[in-house]
Chains A and B, each alone.
Chain A
Amino acid sequence: MPERWSTYARAAGTDLEALFSSHFNESSRRARFILGRGFDPRMLTGLGLLRRTCPSLSIEVVILTFEEGDQSPSRAYQPAVQSNVEELGRIIPAAQLASRSISMFSSEGRRMTSRSAEGLFKTADEFAGITDVIVDVSSLPRSVFLPIVAKLLHIIDGQNAPRMNLFVLADENPKIDSLILEEGLDEEADYIHTFRGDAERESAASKPRVWFPILGENQATQLQRIYDLVRPSEVCPLLPAPSQNPRRGDDLVLEYRGLLFDSLRIDPRNFLYASETNPFEVYRQLVHAIDHYASSLAPLGGSNAIVSALSSKLLSIGALLAAYELKRAGSRVAIAHIEAHGHRVAVEMKELSRLAKEGVIHGLWLAGECYED
């Protein structure tokens, strides 16, 4: 199967600055920058970088707000949220700032984040005059940015050339990620809206389910609950390798050994590996593996693939790209996910802000000019 992102454009740190500088300062452009309102000190890193490297670029910012509920532990960090919003006001004039709200819960208290996020942008008309869309996922939960990025890809794929450019930014900082803990997990996992795949169809119930969890640290409960939803016949965990810490993959296997080997009894040959900083490699590995299972299990009616991103936000994009491309090609791939009622920071906010300076910002160019024939 031809891979849409077999060649790709990505850059990090100073390379990203250079890319932005040459891309945005070259000609007349109008960018829409989408980011989340939150306490994470990385919320404005991407926007700050863009403003710094391209001071004359016309930028509209869409800030996404989401209410995690009265009992959310995140409410304790309201001052940090306020401070981020004030800083945003200093970077972008109020006239260029728009706010959109995402409903996390229905009136009955049901989780509906991904559905609400998917409905945020409906048609290409909403982007009239926009040449570039940049989504900074650093302060957005997966249930928000996965459906938004998928919807933007869908909108762009429906456009006639010249299409909009779509960039995704993620400020990667494993230290900070390990200090922001999910609290009050939902009782049940669910599928990301528009990525329910074949997983819930009775007509596909006889197809063996193959689950591809991308493993990250401290996700045992999440992993168990997603497993309870998916109930797979086969599990193929994806480990980060190569990685900055060469033992990271081993540590993850050690952390989840009980679940992986005793409860799920996976075969060690099922492990997949992809670079911890390259989502396009995750994408490639997943597309190959899913394709391989589909053809091997064709005599049984095919396979039913489900992916779950339990690692960094950057790698989650790789899972999304695989699911999106396969969906467009007619293979239904599901993305299973579990949400939390909020987050707790394991250290003082000051310490978190200090650590934020150690992160590296990654940029992925997902659609637009560089992919045109």
Chain B
Amino acid sequence: MRVPRNPFRLRAAEAIENDVTFLKLFGPEMLDLLGDDPHLWDKPQLIRSAPGAGKTTLLRLFTPAALVNLHAFKANDDLKELYQRMDALGVINDGGPQILGVFLSCARNYRILDDLDFEAPRKQRLLFGLLNARIVLAALRASLQLRGLRFPEDLARIKISADAPIEIRAGEPGAISGIELQRWATDLEENVCDAIDSFDGGDLASLPGSDTLHSITLMRPGVLTVDGEAVASHCLLLLDDVHHLTHGQRTLLLKTVADMRAGVGVWLAERFEALSTDEMLETGVTEGRDYEGEILIERFWRESANKFANLLNSVADRRASAALTVEVTSLDSCLQASLDGTEWQAKYEATIPVIRDRVTQLARGSALFHDWIEMQVQQPGGSRDRAIGWRVLEILMHRELRNKQTSFDFPLSPAELKEKTDSSIRAAAELFLAHEFHLPYYFGPKKLANLASWNIEQFMRLAGDEFEEVVASSLISKTPTLNAGRQDSLLREASESFWLEIPRRARYGEKVHQLLTSIGRFCRQRTYEENAPYDPGVTGIAISMKEREQLQSKEFLAKNPEYVLLADVLAAAIANNLLEAQLDRKVKGDTWMVLNLNRLLCVSYDLPLQYGGFKERPLRDLYMWMTAGYEAKKSLL
């Protein structure tokens, strides 16, 4: 493997093969997700998200290879903060790692077991048998790794305590050391896999299985010892990719783990796509579930926006510092963050006469806006501020003119103008200006963070595109900074490419694309109304909670089968974080499920990145949008 030229491109945790590099690139702020639950190490914990939110990265941090290296390099400046936070969590201390993390991916051949022509109990026994064998193998390997020993050479140094569960030795009654246990687990796995993978179907019927996940009890403190000492004070089973199991297997696994109450930490990470349409539309509702306090990654960050911003800053700086071809310590320092520089002043200055003429036209024959215009003419400040001021004035005049039936032709006072000019209308004016005069809008670290839509991988992708230019600038000896215009272009290209990926990315991809395109067009039309009624703009839609319940109701769907597809399409969009769902939003005396567009999708429709602007739509409209598309009813600005 070569030295990373652009570390932002090392997106997946699995792609970073060096554990120290992995640790250096890990943002300690990610640990905020775990909160301060004292039972983290002895209870089941569900972690869910769309793809790319960082589940595997988080799990990998607790594996022996990562912990051993964290301990070895604790004095390294890049790792100090992470070490301290892991110390505070009780994962590590001066004596070394205190947790044995046993990582196991469920992206294996378990699903095939459900397709076999057996009775359900037989399939279940095979599933548990295979899981037990793999958990045992992973636990043995992790135990030796944590102690710096070699696998499989040092297996004899692992002993199983006398009070170990009898069940785990069912296949190997005499198992007392790691060697026997490994032999038993390897044989079981080989037999099942060979049978599954054979051209003749193999003899799966005669293979042994298990009644439950006995192997978890092997991970109780003190059961596994190395050279006579407990491997660690706590064991943590890290089951990744649980969404790869069939629905039935996944339900069985979650229930079994919850019911076992084994006193062992079992973390189960899965993508939202594992959830049924019904469950997906429930997104975020946890009451009454076996797993209280499940971690929904995107939702957590949405509710802790500052923490997410800190995480992104930390991750970006770590990645930027890791680039060896360019001397940059922070991505922020490479990104132009405002348009107050001289290169933009002339462009803004050129917009003022155009808007002023329109404003004058609009006010002709009426004294209503005389004082407002006069006040704007007198406004001091730079070109950008004044241009925004004029555009605010134009929007406000449109609003007043819509209400002119009710107002007299007395001049509106400057104080009223001041009062009506809030940050939202200024944001709308800035957006309108950028759109109308082709000025950059999507630039700067803050907007880059917004465009991540609470997803680390999405952020890496965008930051990677920008950092690529920084690296290129450095190669040709130019200052490694990216001006606002170039950032805007790069982010627009990324948005276009994101849209193009939707048909391939999501289930029901074509329909998801059609629905989202319709939502985008609708939001754009509403955003660019001349009086900016939803300032700064509309970036989502909402369906009533009642209608959402209808999408989950079997009776309703039986009577209205066309909505089955709509429910599936909405669920697929939410599962892939293309729509960000928020439940129980109270507006206009009713409660709503708000579906905001992923912020990166907003770019292609020149939409703002703030949240809050949404329009309520009935289900029948969404169905039409998904099947026939939405066309704007009148021309835009």
Residues of A at the B interface (CB closer than 8 Å) are 71, 73, 106, 108, 110, 112, 115, 118, 150-151, 154, 182-185, 187-188, 191, 193-197, 200-203, 205-206, 221, 228-229, 231, 233, 258, 261-267, 332, 340-341
Contacts and interface: CB of A to CB of B under 8 A. Distances in A.
A112 B505 CA distance: 20
Given A221-B501, A262-B6, A262-B464, A73 B138 contact: no
B115 interface: yes
B199 A187 contact: no
Contacts of A71: 508, 510-511, 565
A201 B115 contact: no
Contacts of B189: 201-203
Contacts of B107: 188, 229
Interface of B: 1-6, 9-12, 14-15, 17, 51, 104, 107-109, 111-112, 114-115, 133-134, 137-138, 141, 151, 185-186, 189-190, 193, 196-199, 244, 246-248, 271, 273, 464, 501, 503-511, 565
Contact of B190 (A193, A201, A231, A261): A201
25 contacts: A108-B114, A108-B246, A108-B248, A110-B111, A110-B115, A151-B199, A183-B503, A184-B507, A184-B510, A187-B507, A194-B199, A196-B193, A197-B197, A202-B137, A202-B189, A203-B185, A205-B137, A206-B151, A229-B107, A261-B2, A262-B5, A263-B12, A263-B15, A266-B2, A332-B197
Contact of B9 (A106, A184, A263, A341): A263
A46 B571 CA distance: 43
A200 B10 contact: no
Nearest to A221: B504
Contacts of A182: 504
Among B112, B198, B199, residue most surrounded by chain A Cβ atoms (within 10 Å): B199
B470 to A, nearest CB: 14
B217 to A, nearest CB: 18
Contacts of B508: 71, 184
Contacts of B506: 184
Nearest to B512: A184
Contacts of B244: 188
Nearest to A119: B201
Contacts of B115: 106, 110, 112, 115
Contacts of B5: 261-262
A267 B17 CA distance: 14
A150 B197 CA distance: 12
8 shortest interchain CB distances as A-B pairs: A262-B9, A202-B134, A200-B108, A184-B509, A202-B137, A203-B186, A154-B199, A231-B14
A106 B186 CA distance: 30
A118 B198 CA distance: 10
B110 to A, nearest CB: 9
A196 B197 contact: yes
Nearest to A233: B17
Contacts of A106: 114-115
A228 B14 CA distance: 8
A256 to B, nearest CB: 12
Nearest to B14: A231
Contacts of A332: 197
Contacts of A206: 141, 151
A200 B109 contact: yes
B102 to A, nearest CB: 11
Given A71-B508, A262-B464, A187 B9 contact: no
Given A183-B510, A185-B504, A233-B17, 7 more contacts: A151-B199, A200-B109, A202-B133, A203-B185, A231-B14, A262-B464, A263-B9
